[in-house]
């Protein structure tokens, strides 16, 4: 987190295990001469559990298989996967799926690009393959290749070419307790809610912030989502933790995108310079999803370009609904101040272009905000005239939790402390149903947006939700000291 207290990170000196790995690495797989130190604690000082051996080392079979959409996911999809260096070429097979075990006969071979990433495990290759000219609303099967053979067949359905009801999952920061805690939230979402067609990540997928070895965190991230990431297109936004701190020659502190992002995600590249690797949009069955890079906008000087691109991309949208995804929230629920730069630049665009949902993370709490005026007045007042402007959400999936700021408890809508959450959104051409669930699958919050001639009307849900979760005690890492007033 950029401006929150950041206790000293626990980093092991080069362990004998790491040294042994480096010594044993073949010449072709040699890591950079600077070597890597393995991170053993979260930034909050919590130990990261590690099993013996090399659980996340690259192998001769594919792993870290992540599906991403093209700009038109009715016709284009892409996959990224990882192998050891023995598999030099990026190779996938794809076929329209059938009900019998005859995929190999019909499969087409598709090749792509390969990108090396070095860690204490040595060199890995991340391969990316793009599937183009697909048929809309069709189930495809694909598999990817390592030196020892193919992965299992994974299936996905292309989007329909027209607006059609579908369901997507929105996750806040995973970042800490990735496998320990966040995995159960992700798996609960997929277990309890069938046919999720997209997953949106609001940034800080992992905790990396420096040049040390965070390979295991990406291993945990992939293990947490597992085959769901290979079947369901992922729409990630960068958080500040996808960037690593970087000292410029003059001593100025800066940031640069970490090495895993461009390797792990084969994104559409239809965003804006100079942040094409981290900004993009996707049209899916009547929804335009626009993904922005808050860190690059705030800290690296691309706010002006991103704002102009956001405005143009919204202006050109023919979708029924427009959803914007990024990390640093306009309205904070934990930090003492709202994110001024984002609020000044992007909120006017959201208002003018009538964005429906603004999905964010970063604050490690939950917040739904429907009325800025109500929040400013500290009342539960609804939006003026019953016409709803953009609805602002902040959520969190992993184990790092922050206490609510002084404004959040008085705002019109529900908030939460120390609660791991996931959000299920059901989209119809004129109705959007937003539901927030806890890690155990309890309904926590929800609303419906209905499109009328005058604009969106918001209604609260009739289903019962569990009580608001706020904490009487301290909020510790992993929620250990929090006493919630709710369930």
Minimum distance of Fe ion from residue 342's CB (angstroms): 13
| 176 vs 370, beta carbon nearer Fe ion | 176
Q: How far apart are CA 262 and CA 141, in angstroms?
A: 24
Minimum distance of Fe ion from residue 361's CB (angstroms): 6
Minimum distance of Fe ion from residue 172's CB (angstroms): 10
Torsion of CA 156, 159, 160, 166, to 10 degrees: 100
Minimum distance of Fe ion from residue 167's CB (angstroms): 26
Q: Which of 436, 340, 331 is nearest to 375 (CA)?
A: 331
Within 342-401, the residues that bind Fe ion by CB under 5 A are 362
> Measured on CA atoms in the order 317, 321, 326, 331, is the torsion positive or negative?
positive
Q: How far apart are CA 156 and CA 168, in angstroms?
A: 14
Within 223-252, the residues that bind Fe ion by CB under 5 A are 239-240
Q: What is the 3-state secondary structure (H, E, C) of 277-289?
A: CCCEEEEECCEEE
Q: Which of 22, 19, 21, 230 is nearest to 140 (CA)?
A: 230
Two tokens at 164? 């059609």
| 21 vs 275, beta carbon nearer Fe ion | 275
| 222 vs 240, beta carbon nearer Fe ion | 240
| 145 vs 364, beta carbon nearer Fe ion | 364
State which residue has the least CB distance to Fe ion.
362
Minimum distance of Fe ion from residue 204's CB (angstroms): 4
Minimum distance of Fe ion from residue 232's CB (angstroms): 24
Residues 6+ apart with CB under 8 A from 452: none
Phi, psi of 214 (to 5 degrees): -110, 20
Torsion of CA 207, 292, 373, 356, to 10 degrees: -120
| 87 vs 306, beta carbon nearer Fe ion | 306
Minimum distance of Fe ion from residue 475's CB (angstroms): 16
Q: Which of 220, 298, 227 is nearest to 55 (CA)?
A: 220
Phi, psi of 342 (to 5 degrees): -70, -40
Minimum distance of Fe ion from residue 323's CB (angstroms): 20
Classify residue 237 by burial, with Cβ atoms within 10 Å: 0-12, 13-18, 19+: buried
Q: Which of 458, 481, 378, 478 is nearest to 44 (CA)?
A: 478
Residues 6+ apart with CB under 8 A from 316: none
Minimum distance of Fe ion from residue 6's CB (angstroms): 11
Element (H, E) at 49: none
Q: Are 181 and 478 in contact (CB under 8 A)?
A: yes
Minimum distance of Fe ion from residue 359's CB (angstroms): 14
Within 186-225, the residues that bind Fe ion by CB under 5 A are 204
How many chain residues bind Fe ion (CB under 5 A)?
Answer: 5
| 91 vs 175, beta carbon nearer Fe ion | 175
Classify residue 186 by burial, with Cβ atoms within 10 Å: 0-12, 13-18, 19+: buried
Q: What is the 3-state secondary structure (H, E, C) of 308-372?
A: HHHHHHHHCCCCCEEEEECCCCCCCCCCCCCCHHHHHHHHHHHHHCCCCEEEECCCCCEEEECCH
| 240 vs 438, beta carbon nearer Fe ion | 240
| 238 vs 313, beta carbon nearer Fe ion | 238
| 120 vs 328, beta carbon nearer Fe ion | 328
Minimum distance of Fe ion from residue 194's CB (angstroms): 31
| 362 vs 469, beta carbon nearer Fe ion | 362
Two tokens at 332? 């904070």
| 74 vs 237, beta carbon nearer Fe ion | 237
Report if residue 259 touches Fe ion, rule: CB under 5 A.
no
**Across the beta sheet with 122-131, what order do the strands follow?**
63-69, 77-83, 122-131, 113-119
Q: Which residues bind Fe ion (CB under 5 A)?
A: 1, 204, 239-240, 362
């Amino acid at each position: 987190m950029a401006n929150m207290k950041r206790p000293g990170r626990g980093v092991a000196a080069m362990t004998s295990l790491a040294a042994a790995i480096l010594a044993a690495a073949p010449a072709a797989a040699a890591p950079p001469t600077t070597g890597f130190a393995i991170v053993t604690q979260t930034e909050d000082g919590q130990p990261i559990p590690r099993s013996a051996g090399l659980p996340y080392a690259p192998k001769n079979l594919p792993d870290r298989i992540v599906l991403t959409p093209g700009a038109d996911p009715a016709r284009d999809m892409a996959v990224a996967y990882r192998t050891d260096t023995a598999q030099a070429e990026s190779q996938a097979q794809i076929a329209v799926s059938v009900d019998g075990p005859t995929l190999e006969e019909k499969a087409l071979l598709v090749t792509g690009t390969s990108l090396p990433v070095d860690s204490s495990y040595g060199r890995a290759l991340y391969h990316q393959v793009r599937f183009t000219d697909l048929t809309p609303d069709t189930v495809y099967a694909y598999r990817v290749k390592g030196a020892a053979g193919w992965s299992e067949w994974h299936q996905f359905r292309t989007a329909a070419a027209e607006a059609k009801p579908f369901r997507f999952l929105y996750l806040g920061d995973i970042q800490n307790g990735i496998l320990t805690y966040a995995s159960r939230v992700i798996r609960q979402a997929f277990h309890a809610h069938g046919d999720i067609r997209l997953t949106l990540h609001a940034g800080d997928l992992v905790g990396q912030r420096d040049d040390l070895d965070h390979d295991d965190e990406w291993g945990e991230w992939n293990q947490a989502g597992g085959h769901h990431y290979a079947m369901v297109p992922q729409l990630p936004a960068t958080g500040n933790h996808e960037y690593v701190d970087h000292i410029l020659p003059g001593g100025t502190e800066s940031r640069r995108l970490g090495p895993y992002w461009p390797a792990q995600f084969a994104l559409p590249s239809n965003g804006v310079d100079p942040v094409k690797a981290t900004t993009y949009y996707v049209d899916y069955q009547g929804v335009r999803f626009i993904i922005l890079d808050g860190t690059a906008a705030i800290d690296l000087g691309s706010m002006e370009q991103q704002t102009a691109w956001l405005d143009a991309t919204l202006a050109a949208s023919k979708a029924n609904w427009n959803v914007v995804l990024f990390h640093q929230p306009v309205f904070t629920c934990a930090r003492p101040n709202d994110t001024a730069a984002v609020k000044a630049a992007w909120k006017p665009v959201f208002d003018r272009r009538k964005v429906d949902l603004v999905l964010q993370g970063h604050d490690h709490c939950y917040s739904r905000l429907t009325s800025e005026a109500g929040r400013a007045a500290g009342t539960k007042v609804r939006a003026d005239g019953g016409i709803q402007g953009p609805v602002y959400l902040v959520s969190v999936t992993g184990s790092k939790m922050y206490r609510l700021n002084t404004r959040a408890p008085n705002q019109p809508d529900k908030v939460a402390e120390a609660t791991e959450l996931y959000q299920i959104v059901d989209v119809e051409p004129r109705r959007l149903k937003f539901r927030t669930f806890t890690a155990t699958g309890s309904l926590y919050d929800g609303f419906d947006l209905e499109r009328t001639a005058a604009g969106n009307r918001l209604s609260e849900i009739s289903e019962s939700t569990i009580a608001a979760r706020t904490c009487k005690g301290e909020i510790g890492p992993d929620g250990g000291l929090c006493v919630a007033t709710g369930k």
